[in-house]
Structures are given as structure tokens and as C-alpha cells.
Amino acid sequence: GLPGDRIEYRNKRLTINGAAVETTRLEDYQYSDRNSYTTAWQFKERLGDEEHLTLVEPEEPSVRLSGVRQFNGRDKCVFSDTGFICTIPDDHYFMMGDNRDSSSDSRYWGFVPDDHIIGRAFMVVWNSGEFSRSATWLK
């Protein structure tokens, strides 16, 4: 999310500035996590001209309230047992993982100041959950 955006993730649905993010359901995805297998719903998600894959775990909450820390700008967020809404402060960004319900991201540790972003990811070096994505270039 960009400065000024209103991000909402509620009941497994992501909206940005009131518009639902376009998703297409794909086949279920299984992966090993913490010595057990997890089955997640897999989606192709479109943000602008870019498409990428996301995972949603239907049995997990949209946000674990016990994991949400105090952070600068938290007063710009409202958390509940079904999800959250945040307005991103000026000069900050909201980072959200592609494995939505098993990611430690801005929901839990807050907004990222723009002066903390020093580069851009250009390659997946190693992906233990989907080895075929290892050593692939990002768009």
C-alpha cells in the first residue's frame, strides 16, 4: 500500500481505497509448514497491470490480534477479529505477504518509512515451498 491508501483485509478479501482487488481462484495449494502439511486456497491477484499468486488459509483468522504490536501510526488502523482497516501515513508504505494468513507483515509490525526502502526485489533466489519458482526473475 502507498501513502494515503486505505487498506482493508476483512474475511479474506483485500480492498484498496474501497475497491476490491481482482482475484481468480486457482487450484488448492499444499505446502509443508512447521512439520505439518497445510492446504491453502490459491488465487491469482491483479494489482494494476501486475498479476501475482497469493495464498489464503481458510481456517486461519485474517489477523491474529494477539500478534499485533504497538507501532507508529497504529492509531490509523482499526483491528477486529474479522480483519483490519488502515490508512497509510504520509511517507510510509504497507507491506503484506503473499501467504496472507501466515505472513508477518505490516498488520503486525507497522508501516515502513520510505527512507527504509533501499532497493527493489528483482529475483526469487530460493523458494522451498515451490522449488520451480527458485532462480526466477521478477517483473
Domain extent listing, the chain? 6-137
Span 4-20, pLDDT tens digits: 999 999 999 999 999 99
pTM over 0.75: yes
**Average predicted confidence (pLDDT) for the chain:** 88
Q: How far is CA 86 from CA 31, 78, 79, 118, 119, in A?
A: 30, 6, 9, 24, 25
pLDDT at 37: 87
Span 72-114, pLDDT tens digits: 999 999 999 899 999 999 999 999 999 998 889 999 999 999 9
Q: How far is CA 16 from the centre of its chain?
A: 12
Q: Are 63 and 84 in contact (CB under 8 A)?
A: yes
